[in-house]
Amino acid sequence: MSHPYQCVLHCHQAGQVESGILVFASGPYIHTLSAQNGRYLSTWPSLENTTQTRSTGQNNGNGLEVAQLKSSPQDDSERPSKRQKLSPARDESCSSSAEIVVARDSDNGESSNSQQPLNPPVIKLAGTSAGQHVIAVTGEDKCIRVFDLAATGILTQLSERQDTMPKRPCAIILTPDDSTILCADKFGDVYSLPLVGQVFETATFNGIDANNTSRTSDQKHKQKPFAPSATSLTVHTKGNREALRQQQNIKNLKAEKKVSNLDHKLLLGHVSLLTDVACVTLASPSHKPRNYILSSDRDEHIRISRGVPQAHIIEGYCLGHTEFITKLCVPTVYPHLLISGGGDDYLILWDWPAGRMLQQLDLKSLVANLRNTKLGAGKLFKGSAKVKDAETEVDIAPRICVSNIQALEIYTELSGHPRVEIIVTCEGVPALFTFTLGMNAQMQFSASIHTESNVIDVTILPNQSSVIYSMDTCHQAFSTDASADTGKQGPRSLVGSLIYDTDSKTWEENQALQANLVAATRECADSQLHVPQAGAAKGKSLRELLYGLESLRKRGSENETDV
């Protein structure tokens, strides 16, 4: 059983004639493949001698520099810092598939042999527009890694920022000039980080130059002894008074620990879990470019802020969603338009500089139609028609959750204005939904493209008018929890690719690429079988990795009076 690709990304390197490189994240591994012919290129961390590279990587990355970083703001006598929540190597979650159980057993054996556990799974991938760098986020350890992407597809880790992020990153993008990473987190804050940070270099000089500011403020903080900010005048209840009396008796209480903020800057924040960010450049009245940051959250807001360095100024909001938002998409050729989706039954097309809703596009009925035609036919084989009816009635209700929205520009020879194909995927739905966005800022549904398995992630290949998508082979189509019985269906492919035919204006399978991609992914999967997969998600954790967005939906809380 091979691990599905939870993230796919296409990087096109400026100046290269070839169509760039595809970057696939499979559990803790990152594979690179050629976008030109689908050939397998490389894997990070290296598969042949994983444990060895891991340990040397530890020495380079953590042993020297990171250790110094860690030790400087912390004192030995202080309280131990909060333990990271890492999922145990032994996965307790139930899995009904025999293959998964077997895989887990063998993993346990191997992981106990090798003391070096792998990284947690990658949750986000981002690439610079120049295609030179790839940024990978692993969720459980809140680590942001920046890689150099060579034309040969080999990834070289440039930096690993583990302790900088206070909360788990939820979305990661780059500013249009490729110099800065914007990272939105679970706590609602957006931070900026330099893409190529000097943090580790300066830290080795004992933090004399670049870290001066944070260090002095750190010392200043230390010099001030802790004093409770409450007084007998501000607390009144018996319990609180007692707590205050105890605090006042403690003489040498250390000051509260400061979060080290060596290279990340807080730009803006919502009081809600952030789900996506976008960075857009518009022409100003003075014809100079203006940057904006768009951020979406779980509480139905899309905020429009000015770009760095004025990100603290809110220009407006796009309000109209009634459920959590998961994805923002701004087409490059129409930068004043925004397509957003999430837990609502529809997508919204916005004129975002004006905060105006232009269109609502129904998505739920598209999913329901597809489900009825595909699943209805399939169930006839299984049981009686009655069961099918009852089940489909229940099945019509499920809510949808948009997992990805991508825009692909289609240039036709006749007109200078490109059409934009919008590709939308939903969690646990084996389909790509395509819409056409024209010059008149009107969006129209064009097709539902049924796929073999649930689509997980999708990326576009602009210069080939193609899309590449990854699929979930572990679960049944239309289901996010039922394991797939592979025995009946035979091997399913992990990836698929489509190409847009400008003549017929339809999407077709990109056959040339597809065959090579499937072969290459088999190659990846086969080589992966021989190495420890302690970091690979299974069972419940795999489900959370692949389908984590639906859990953002609010439940009506029952005991709300006492909160």
Using CB under 8 A, list all residues that contact other proteins: 187-189, 191-192, 213, 217, 221, 228-231, 233-234, 256-259, 261, 264-272, 284, 286, 288-290, 299-301, 303, 305-306, 308-314, 316-317, 319-322, 554-557, 560-563
Pinpoint the alpha helices (H) of 383-452. 385-396
CA-nearest of 375, 335, 358 to 476 is 375
Nearer to other proteins, 345 or 409 (CB): 345
Residue 145 Cβ, how far from other proteins at the closest point, in Å?
20
Both structure tokens of 402: 């948009």
Nearer to other proteins, 278 or 534 (CB): 278
Residue 376 Cβ, how far from other proteins at the closest point, in Å?
32
Nearer to other proteins, 230 or 525 (CB): 230
Residue 83 to residue 482: CA distance in whole angstroms: 33
CA atoms within 13 A on the CB side of 336: 14
Nearer to other proteins, 57 or 73 (CB): 73
Residue 156, exposed/middle/buried by CB under 10 A (0-12, 13-18, 19+)? exposed
Place of tokens 């004129």: 351
Residue 446 to residue 288: CA distance in whole angstroms: 36
Nearer to other proteins, 192 or 326 (CB): 192
Residue 405 Cβ, how far from other proteins at the closest point, in Å?
20
CA-nearest of 442, 391, 475 to 6 is 475
Q: H-helix or E-strand containing 68?
A: helix 67-71
**Omega of the bond leading into 169 within 30 degrees of 0 (cis):** no
Nearer to other proteins, 258 or 530 (CB): 258
Nearer to other proteins, 92 or 256 (CB): 256
Residue 449 to residue 471: CA distance in whole angstroms: 13
Q: ∠ CA 428-553-379 to the nearest 5 degrees?
A: 30
Residue 342 Cβ, how far from other proteins at the closest point, in Å?
13
Nearer to other proteins, 50 or 192 (CB): 192
Residue 118 to residue 167: CA distance in whole angstroms: 21
Nearer to other proteins, 60 or 232 (CB): 232
DSSP 562: T
Contacts 24+ apart (CB under 8 A), 42-48: 42/152, 42/153, 42/154, 42/155, 43/524, 43/527, 43/528, 44/147, 44/155, 44/157, 45/118, 45/119, 47/527, 47/528, 47/530, 47/531
Residue 179 Cβ, how far from other proteins at the closest point, in Å?
15
Residue 431 to residue 1: CA distance in whole angstroms: 22
Residue 440 Cβ, how far from other proteins at the closest point, in Å?
22
Residue 39 to residue 22: CA distance in whole angstroms: 10
Nearer to other proteins, 17 or 563 (CB): 563
Fill in the amino acid letter for 126.
Answer: A
Beta strands in 502-547, from DSSP E residues, in sequence order: 506-509
Fill in the amino acid letter for 408.
Answer: L
**Count helices and strands in the chain by DSSP H and E runs:** 11, 28
Nearer to other proteins, 239 or 487 (CB): 239
Residue 459 to residue 438: CA distance in whole angstroms: 21
Residue 269 Cβ, how far from other proteins at the closest point, in Å?
3
Residue 255 Cβ, how far from other proteins at the closest point, in Å?
9
Residue 346 Cβ, how far from other proteins at the closest point, in Å?
12
DSSP 354: G
DSSP of 277-329 = EEEEEEE-TTSSEEEEEEEEETTSEEEEEE-TT-TTSEEEEEE--SS-EEEEE
- Contact between 183 and 174 under an 8 Å Cβ cutoff? The reply is no
Residue 347 Cβ, how far from other proteins at the closest point, in Å?
16
Residue 548 Cβ, how far from other proteins at the closest point, in Å?
18
CA atoms within 13 A on the CB side of 432: 32
Nearer to other proteins, 316 or 398 (CB): 316
Residue 149 Cβ, how far from other proteins at the closest point, in Å?
29
Nearer to other proteins, 139 or 188 (CB): 188
Nearer to other proteins, 488 or 555 (CB): 555
CA-nearest of 198, 201, 259 to 73 is 259
Both structure tokens of 549: 């967005």
- Contact between 170 and 275 under an 8 Å Cβ cutoff? The reply is yes
Residue 284 Cβ, how far from other proteins at the closest point, in Å?
5
Residue 231 to residue 245: CA distance in whole angstroms: 9
Residue 190 Cβ, how far from other proteins at the closest point, in Å?
9
